[in-house]
Structure 1
Amino acid sequence: MTDPIAPQILIVDDARDIREPLGQYLRKQGFRTRLAANAAEAREILAEAGIHMVVLDIMMPGEDGLSLCRWLVAHDGPPVLLLTAMADETDRIVGLELGADDYLVKPFNPRELLARVRAILRRAPPEVAAPPSGRRVFAGWLHDPDALSLAHEDGRRVDLTSAENRLLGIFLDQPRHVMSRATLLDLTAGREAKAYDRAIDNQISRLRRKIEDDPKKPQILVTEWGGGYRLVAEVAPEGPEHGA
């Protein structure tokens, strides 16, 4: 069984006979994998899953790999390993100029690809979210991340653990966005943490007990079935009326 906190690799290749065997091979080596047949599918996966690296074919119908690579680099996406045809020397050079981390020429030995994947991941910085900063208001609450606390407009005050504080900060950064468990794990713990999907569920439950009027029927931090969790409240910086 694949470790649920193992690095997750997105393989983007329109050739099914390449992406599926490659996905199986990397899973046997201990990685988690996601597969996409084109750039559009890749963008959807990148939007909802915690991806640590992209193995990307250059020659694809529709949007090609170079275009997707350019977009990933521009948006501070995960590192990219390009797959190129033997004759595409120009594309390889352009890909590296765009910011790809490495390339591999087809046909390739899976063991060489594995070595390059591991080398790229070793160079990648840990994906641990920075501590939240800035006091913000939402659903009647004032979040003070430096004090690890919440204050309600009705006078209630609750303390947060470091994990709860970080998790709440992530939701406040992206209100109304669905956050998958995989994404939350990556942002709160990083790939080195000894975490698992239920750890996020447990943290969500504890956070709900502190911010919801009825934790069993949450109205602020809601569950998106099959998708993850979403903060449905409006979020704003602390205004003068909330100051001490």
Structure 2
Amino acid sequence: MTPQKSLITILDDSPEIREMLSTALQDAGYDTKSFGRSGDFERAIRTLSPDVCLVDLGLPDKDGLALVNRLALESGAAVIIISGRNLVQDKIIGLELGADDYITKPFETAEVVARVRALLRRNTQKTVETASQVVRFSGWTADFEQYRLTDENGKTQDLSHAESKVLRIFLDAPNRLITRDQIFTALDQTAGENFDRAIDVRVSRLRTKLRDDPQNPQIIKTIYGAGYIFIGNVES
């Protein structure tokens, strides 16, 4: 039986960019579906199960950042922003809202294909790991298949794709120093001049969901100049 190809969706209002990305990704062995408007994309996503969503922020009918946040929380797909906005603040906001990566225009299609491949490789490795998809720790339960976090009173909240990956890294190595470089390498991302800030943003979002006081954290402790230590008993 021929293995099913990964599906990559492309949302960009430029027909030229959609065609360029579709061709490059199909040549790399992926299936693609392209959309020029967020409305068409949102209707289609109800029945599609993409593995990676490429999203432009400059959409004609909706704020791209709001769509990124919804995809990160609801779809379980990895999200890569592709945008002409190249300010550091735009990148930080995109990561805060749950994007897994941020590529600025103009770009080389080979770079996009490489980053898509890296995200899919990371997800495949997670799928074949023997580690449990449900992990209990410090009064919390993390369900990595459902991207869901549950407290000891049964209250649930969604984890974004990016947040779940960072949490998994911590849970796989409790009570040990995890450096920012280790996190970035584990996420298969391309380091840039602001990668420290990108990691800090994701850890901050995770702390908020774990109700871990950033001034006196009891679960994720910052070791200044070194990285982080995840404190707690972890049960599979």
Q: What's the TM-score once normalised by structure 1's chain length? A: 0.48
Larger radius of gyration: 1
